[in-house]
Amino acid sequence: MNRGPRETEEFFNEFAGLVDTTFNAAEKSTLGVGGRVQAAIFPPTVSLAAALQARSSSPLRIEVGAQNIHWEAQGAFTGEISGPMVRQLGLNWALVGHSERRQYFGETNTTALKRTESLLKQGFTVIACLGETLEERQSHRTQAILSDQFLNSIGEDSGTQARSKNLIIAYEPVWAIGTGLTPTLAEIEASHEFLRDLIAKRWGTETAQSTLLLYGGSVTPQNIGAILRCTSVDGALVGGASVKPESFAALLKLAAQTIDRN
């Protein structure tokens, strides 16, 4: 719940200036459509149109998506938005099951499943979020929670979408979000490898290898390089560090450099 339409326009203008002045030609070519690093930003609903308008001034193609979308196409669901509404804006990216939706707004595996299935059928690229709380980690239930969320909030037919890269899975340990705490690199690797093994058992090895797995949880310019060098990590789901243009630009620059070295 950051940045209204005016602030969103200011964000993109500043971001465009930073890219223009601080990225070299190789870094620019690595990012965006046709490059090896893809980026998407998820503003508040009221700022989606402003983000699309402002994006046109960006030297990089940044995808824009919605933080939350209802599973029904229309109806008496006060306060919600639907997939067709978002598609009318020209958007086809969405988050599903983010930890804050689960923690504060009653999102369950059942409702996340409805959103995931509906949005994938509508042609959205969906980032489905999974992760454990601190209590669950301390009680050694991380894998049980991840397994439960994966099996019950992502549809059986989603394997087809995973193969086409329309389904992206983000591991976000709830206890690490906004706290400055992060799992060790070994713990991140272990959780991602566990998720990839779940995908393989459900949809096959080929799908497991091609499905993008993101890490989210206090990702910063200081740690993103090390995180992206983990062999099981394909990208990052970034919270607070993406709100400021300078840190968002720094994240993308470091991602381009890391990918280029790899």
Residue type, 14: E
Q: How far apart are CA 222 and CA 232, in angstroms?
A: 19
- In the chain, what is the greatest distance between 2 CA atoms, to the nearest angstrom? 51
Which one is catalytic: 27, 117, 132, 172? 172
Q: Collect all residues with Cβ–Cβ distance below 8 Å to 237 and sequence separation of at least 6.
A: 127, 129, 170, 172, 214, 215, 216, 219
The phi and psi torsions of 95 (rounded to 5 degrees) equal -90, 145
192 catalytic? Reply is no
Q: Between the CA of residue 217 and those of 46, 57, 184, 235, 261, what are the distances in Å?
A: 25, 30, 11, 12, 24
107 catalytic? Reply is no
The SS3 call for residue 37 is: strand
Which one is catalytic: 98, 100, 107, 117? 98
Residue numbers annotated as active site: 98, 172
